[in-house]
Amino acid sequence: MSERPQPVIVGAGPAGIRAAEALVAAGLRPLVVDEAPSCGGQIYRQRLAPDERSTRDLYGSEAQKAEALHRDFAALDGKLDYWPQALLWNLRDGRADIMVAGTSRQVAYDGLLLATGATDRILPIPGWTLPGVFTLGGAQIALKSQGCAIGSRSVFLGSGPLLYLVAWQYMKAGAKVAAVLDTAPFAAKFNLLRGLPLFPGIVLRGMRMTAELKLAGVGLHYGVADPRIEGKNAVETIAWRQGGLEHRLACDGIGYGLALRSETQLADLAGCRFAFNQRDRAALPERDAAGRTSVPGVYLAGDGAGIAGADAAERAGERAALALLQDRSLSPDAARAAVLEAELARIGRFREVLEAAFPFPAHWAKDIADSTILCRCEEVTAGEVRAAIGQFGVHELNRLKAVSRIGMGRCQGRVCGSAAAELLAHETSRGIEAVGRLRSQAPIKPVPLTLALAAQQEAAE
């Protein structure tokens, strides 16, 4: 009798690590596939090379959590298979195509746990494609992994807790932070008081970060509107309106992001059913409280299933692993499962508080200038998208893709997809939930053509 295929975990961030830990504890040997060179995910990303920084320098008040995750994953060495710097780029018929070490390997799996995380969500603004503009996540990677800043005088623009966290991390690292430009009004921050009974430590830590930025001389601006990045060959200044007044500030590096969007491409390829989530303003794969999807044997955990943060990801990863064990009749700890679900529900309520404190500026879509690049991969402007919508009577996002090339580039809509949906909704006077979602296709990220052809030939044989 052939050996049963092993479960596959995609992602070695907080969700993937806790899922692997639970499966190993139950006697299974999972395969963990991760694109990064080392575990930790975005929030607990490790350095590419050792330097003089301590974990406290890297992760601040989250240093103990980071150390625990890194240590616990290292303790699993020899008890699981771990493929770092590997890309799972296709799923079909219970098999995964994985690019690792320059080759593509096809792996049969019995149980697929997707902990794919999230990326920055943006709306295009004038100048956002200039050299010197990074997403907030990209700015964080530069600081954590490479120990460098995105500029000698940086500005951080957008909305969401990550905005303040990255600015604070840069300030603590000794980088010059000229300003934090928050698109939300200051009054929205009073919503955080509703979060005190749920997670007082998180709320107070956020307040402390904001106070430390202010004391360090960082300009904090709220209700920022109409931001424009200016420069001839690179970032030179950023301009914006606030309270009816025009402002302009010199800088050479900008971190920009409007919260996060879930990475759902693999869930799509796995055949999972999707439903629109109003809070995240996106279609997300459906899952139950345990992480089960509509496809038997496929589980979701972490921000790839809905934005909830690192603490929720740890709990969701463990809970999804327990669901996998239950579905294998391996008798997981039911009491532990109940505790995890209760904790996740509490975090979910806190997420509603954060959404009210850091609202997404959906109204920006109507003000995107026609000359602004919307899809940087294919160099499609907002004006060209508007023209295509009018010419072809487009009401659905995939149709817009077909007539405008939005989402056909290297990122396959990761950067422009949410912006295109917002623009389409506004131009057609429809709700964002009515314009559909971009369908995912393999490869989910670029791979050498030779690998894709070899994988097709292997499948045919």
User: Looking at residue 72, which CATH number applies to its domain?
Assistant: 3.50.50.60
Shared-domain flag, residues 134 and 241: yes
Shared-domain flag, residues 140 and 246: yes
Per DSSP, 331 falls in state -
**What would the pLDDT profile of 153-200 be if each residue is shown by its tens digit?**
999 999 999 999 999 999 999 999 999 999 999 999 999 999 999 999
Question: Cβ distance 107 to 8 under 8 Å?
Answer: yes
Domain boundary, last residue among 258, 284, 308: 258
Domain encompassing residue 276: 8-119+261-354
Helix 161-172 × helix 200-215 angle, to 10°: 50
Domain boundary, last residue among 286, 320, 354: 354
List the structure tokens of 319.
């809970």
Rounded Cα–Cα distance for residues 88 and 100 (Å) = 9
Note whether residue 108 is domain-resident.
yes
Question: Cβ distance 375 to 407 under 8 Å?
Answer: yes
Q: Residue 58 above 90 pLDDT?
A: no
Q: Which residues pair with 115 in a beta bridge?
A: none
Element (H, E) at 254: strand 253-258
CATH code (residue 378): 1.10.10.1100
Omega cis (within 30) before 443: yes
109 to each of 85, 298, 444, how far by Cα in Å? 19, 10, 19
Shared-domain flag, residues 88 and 196: no
**Phi, psi (rounded to 5 degrees) for 287:** -155, 155
Q: Which residue has the higher pLDDT, 456 or 56?
A: 56
Rounded Cα–Cα distance for residues 140 and 43 (Å) = 9
Note whether residue 460 is domain-resident.
no
In this prediction, residue 1 has a pLDDT band, given cuts at 50, 70 and 90, of: very low
Pick from 157, 162, 205: nearest CA to 178: 157
Q: How many domains does the chain have?
A: 3
In this prediction, residue 28 has a pLDDT band, given cuts at 50, 70 and 90, of: very high
Note whether residue 1 is domain-resident.
no
List the structure tokens of 258.
């409007």
Shared-domain flag, residues 135 and 85: no
65 to each of 40, 146, 351, how far by Cα in Å? 10, 21, 20
Contacts by 53-61, CB closer than 8 A, 24 or more apart: 53/147, 57/172, 57/173, 58/144, 60/168, 60/169, 60/172, 61/205
Rounded Cα–Cα distance for residues 320 and 191 (Å) = 31
Shared-domain flag, residues 279 and 248: no
**What would the pLDDT profile of 290-318 be if each residue is shown by its tens digit?**
999 999 999 999 999 999 999 999 999 99
Note whether residue 391 is domain-resident.
yes
Note whether residue 328 is domain-resident.
yes
Note whether residue 448 is domain-resident.
no
**What would the pLDDT profile of 366-405 be if each residue is shown by its tens digit?**
999 999 999 999 999 999 999 999 999 999 999 999 999 9
189 to each of 9, 118, 353, how far by Cα in Å? 37, 24, 10
Shared-domain flag, residues 54 and 110: yes
Sign of CA dihedral 103, 76, 326, 317: negative
Shared-domain flag, residues 13 and 67: yes
Note whether residue 275 is domain-resident.
yes
Per DSSP, 100 falls in state E
Per DSSP, 248 falls in state E
